[in-house]
Amino acid sequence: MRNVYGWLLLTPAAILLIGFTHYPAVATLFDSFFSTGTVVRPSRFVGLANYALLADDPIFWQVLRNNLAFAAGTIPTSIALALLMAIWVNDKLPARALVRMSYFTPTILPMVAVANLWLFFYTPQIGLIDKVAAVFGVPSHNWLGDPDTVMACLAVMTVWKEAGFFMIFYLAALQSLSPELEEAAKIEGASRWYYFRRVTFPLLMPTTLFVLVNATINSFKLVDHLFILTKGGPDNASNLLLYYIYQVAFSFFETSYASTLTVVLLAMLAAMAIVQFQLIEKRVHYR
Amino acid sequence: MRVLDRRLPLLETAAAWLLAVLWIAPLAYAFWAAFHSAAMATHFDLFGTLTLDNFRKAWTYAPFPRHFLNTIILVTMVLAAQLVLCTLAGFAFARFDFAGRNVAFGLVLVQLMVMPEVLIVENYLTMAKLGLVDTILGIGLPYMASAFGIFLMRQTFKTIPRELEDAARVEGCSMMGVLWRVYVPLARPTYLAYALVSVSYHWNNFLWPLVITNSVNTRPLTVGLAIFGAPESGVDWAVISAGTLMAVSPLLVAFLLFQRQFMQSFMQAGIK
């Protein structure tokens, strides 16, 4: 009886989950072994041909490199800033609520709106950065149009958007630390920096690992800003895997190849899931 | 004796403020620009004349009223469906010892990693088969059974003492009656936290709505904003700022009013 009841309650959610998560994940893998069907040539089994195509696709490798560079550029910076922010607003400081609000506000803005705002800063000549640079006699620069600067520009914007979000996890962790630790350190005459290095930072390690995994996952999922700022350009210099999948599927209509690329993305997310799962297992020992 | 003086050293206080000013500056600048003429936006003048012209223009250049309506319908529909589905499924996982429960729960958690926006290609094909391309239902459907919601409700229901349920059963309450009269009222704080996260997420969501919609009548605010803000549209920056601020203002105002709840809810959502 409890069997029937349990499954009955679960059924509506299960149908939707299977329909939009499990079925498409399996179908993606399946489709990656077939060619894209057209009106004249129906889809047929091609084995690993799509994967061979992928291995020879320079854009795929560039997009993957970009993704890793983007993650390497944004994640450590966001985490360091988030930690700094959390330590600051955890202590007494005048107008603390305002400071905390200022750090957190970018988090609740949609990435599209953020991109709209930042587009103006990066616009050559009339943009804010070039205006300020002109005061110091620095010549105008096409920040988003130059393959050498475009990724850095996007990284700065992403750090701005995400640091405040990670801050709240550190803040929660800091508040759970026992105040006796700090008192003991004070009595022993430890400096603030020493206390941070030897006590706070090691104790926050589980939080850091947790934020690290989440930030890595985000770096693969967040591509909204590319639609506004660069469209992956110039010459794919700022293209990311998920945006490339979008382009291949909905601009080039190569559905099978898009599925093949999605398999790569799913594999990466699965790898991250395994890491996260192991972290959660470990965390049990900490508490 | 308390030796702990948790006041920040002066230098660090200054740095914290500086960072705070820096962090709010882009938004503050957009705010300033939205209330001034476009010509002034590039010649920063703090005390220039204020105008509402940009808001008026933005409101008419793009079908903002329609986008607002679409987003509100979407957010409400998704949240309503999530609350019902996640309550039922969470209840099943928390209180029923059915066969295959652990496997089923593991399969639910897969969605925490593989969110619908990763599977845009296959989900688009599914929607095409269902005839739901370019409908608001099509935008919301993949998100309605939320793994995070199910997980959250399961955890909450598990903390509710069984004695309460037993007492209600003795009084002659049915299974659904117990859920409705005992579990749901006690989980109210969790519902509030979940609602804040869900509404923020879907108010801001972009990629999947972009893929699945292609007309003004279904496009939510974010998609409308992207079309409106694209450099090709040729709209000047002051108007784009005004439009962007309009689109984010409901959420921004809600956040300013309920800061604490927002931060706590976001944290819960992250920690899972």
Q: What is the CA B109 to chain-centroid distance, rounded?
A: 20
Q: Who among A92, A165, A272 is closest to B8 (CB)?
A: A92
CA closest to B212 among chain A residues = A250
Q: What is the pLDDT of residue B189?
A: 87
Average pLDDT over every residue of A274-285: 67
Q: What is the pLDDT of residue A284?
A: 44
Interface probe, candidates A3, A120, A266, chain B, greatest B C-beta count within 10 A: A120
Residues of B in contact with A99 (CB under 8 A): 16-17, 20
Q: Kindly determine whether residue A20 and residue B126, on different chains, have CB atoms separated by under 8 Å.
A: yes
| Tokens coding B228 | 């409106």
Asked whether residue A276 carries a pLDDT value surpassing 80, the answer given is no
Using one digit for the tens of pLDDT, what is the confidence trace for A53-100? 888 999 999 999 999 999 999 999 999 999 999 999 988 888 888 999
Q: Who among A9, A89, A95 is closest to B92 (CB)?
A: A9
**Residues present in chain A in total:** 287
Residue A109 per-residue DSSP state: S
d(CA A177, CA A23): 44
Mean pLDDT computed over every residue of chain B: 86
Mean pLDDT computed over every residue of chain A: 87
Q: Who among B44, B125, B259 is closest to A101 (CB)?
A: B259
Q: Kindly determine whether residue A92 and residue B19, on different chains, have CB atoms separated by under 8 Å.
A: no
Non-local (6+) Cβ contacts of A82 within 8 A are A163, A164, A165, A166, A167, A169, A170, A211
Q: Which of A222, A96, A79, A257 is nearest to A164 (CA)?
A: A79
* A132 or B12, greater pLDDT: B12
Q: What is the pLDDT of residue A286?
A: 43
Q: What is the pLDDT of residue B50?
A: 76
Q: Which of A179, A84, A214, A93 is nearest to B267 (CA)?
A: A214
Q: What number is the ipTM of this complex?
A: 0.87
Q: Kindly determine whether residue A183 and residue B248, on different chains, have CB atoms separated by under 8 Å.
A: no
Asked whether residue B52 carries a pLDDT value surpassing 60, the answer given is yes
d(CA A225, CA A237): 14
How many A×B Cβ pairs under 8 Å? 264
Average pLDDT over every residue of B208-229: 90
Q: Which of B161, B223, B219 is nearest to A228 (CA)?
A: B223
Angle at B75 between CA B73 and CA B81, to 5 degrees: 95
Q: Who among B8, B125, B244 is closest to A117 (CB)?
A: B244
pTM of the entire structure? 0.89
d(CA B239, CA B56): 9
Q: Which of B176, B159, B147 is nearest to B89 (CA)?
A: B147
Using one digit for the tens of pLDDT, what is the confidence trace for A228-249? 888 887 888 889 999 999 999 9
Q: Which of B165, B164, B107, B152 is nearest to B267 (CA)?
A: B152
Asked whether residue A38 carries a pLDDT value surpassing 80, the answer given is no
Distance from CA of B213 to the nearest CA of A (A): 12
Asked whether residue B110 carries a pLDDT value surpassing 90, the answer given is no
Q: What is the pLDDT of residue A102?
A: 93
Residue B99 per-residue DSSP state: T
What proportion of chain B, given as a percentage, has pLDDT over 90?
38
- Which of the four pLDDT bands, split at 50, 70 and 90, describes residue B10? confident
Residues of B in contact with A3 (CB under 8 A): 96, 98-99
Asked whether residue B39 carries a pLDDT value surpassing 70, the answer given is no
Which class is B57-271 in CATH? mainly alpha
Q: Kindly determine whether residue A20 and residue B262, on different chains, have CB atoms separated by under 8 Å.
A: no
Non-local (6+) Cβ contacts of B184 within 8 A are B87, B191
Residue B141 per-residue DSSP state: G
**B37 in Cβ contact with B238 (< 8 Å):** yes
**A30 in Cβ contact with A45 (< 8 Å):** no
Using one digit for the tens of pLDDT, what is the confidence trace for A189-208? 888 888 888 888 888 888 88
Q: What is the pLDDT of residue B165?
A: 85
Distance from CA of B96 to the nearest CA of A (A): 5
Q: What is the CA A49 to chain-centroid distance, rounded?
A: 31
Average pLDDT over every residue of A216-239: 88
* B82 or A41, greater pLDDT: B82
Residues of A in contact with B93 (CB under 8 A): 10
Residue B36 per-residue DSSP state: S
Q: Helix H segments across B35-178? A: 38-41, 53-61, 64-95, 101-113, 120-130, 136-140, 147-158, 162-170, 175-178
Distance from CA of A140 to the nearest CA of B (A): 15
Separate counts of helices (H) and strands (E) for chain B: 16, 0
Q: Kindly determine whether residue B267 and residue A85, on different chains, have CB atoms separated by under 8 Å.
A: no
Q: What is the pLDDT of residue B232?
A: 64
Asked whether residue A211 carries a pLDDT value surpassing 80, the answer given is yes
In the numeric block, the tokens 């089994």 are attached to A45
CA dihedral A240, A241, A242, A248 (to 10 degrees): 110
Asked whether residue B34 carries a pLDDT value surpassing 80, the answer given is yes
Which class is A44-286 in CATH? mainly alpha
Average pLDDT over every residue of A166-185: 86
Distance from CA of A6 to the nearest CA of B (A): 5
* B267 or B130, greater pLDDT: B130
Q: Residue B103 CB: number of other CB atoms within 10 A?
A: 9
| Tokens coding A3 | 């069997």
Interface probe, candidates A2, A10, A212, A244, chain B, greatest B C-beta count within 10 A: A10
Average pLDDT over every residue of B120-141: 93
Q: Kindly determine whether residue B98 and residue A31, on different chains, have CB atoms separated by under 8 Å.
A: no
Asked whether residue A188 carries a pLDDT value surpassing 60, the answer given is yes
Q: What is the pLDDT of residue B1?
A: 42
Q: Which of A6-15, B33-42, B112-121 has the lowest mean pLDDT?
A: B33-42
Average pLDDT over every residue of B62-74: 91
Q: Who among B4, B42, B88 is closest to A186 (CB)?
A: B4
Q: Who among A113, A182, A183 is closest to B225 (CB)?
A: A113
Asked whether residue B192 carries a pLDDT value surpassing 50, the answer given is yes
Q: Kindly determine whether residue A20 and residue B247, on different chains, have CB atoms separated by under 8 Å.
A: no
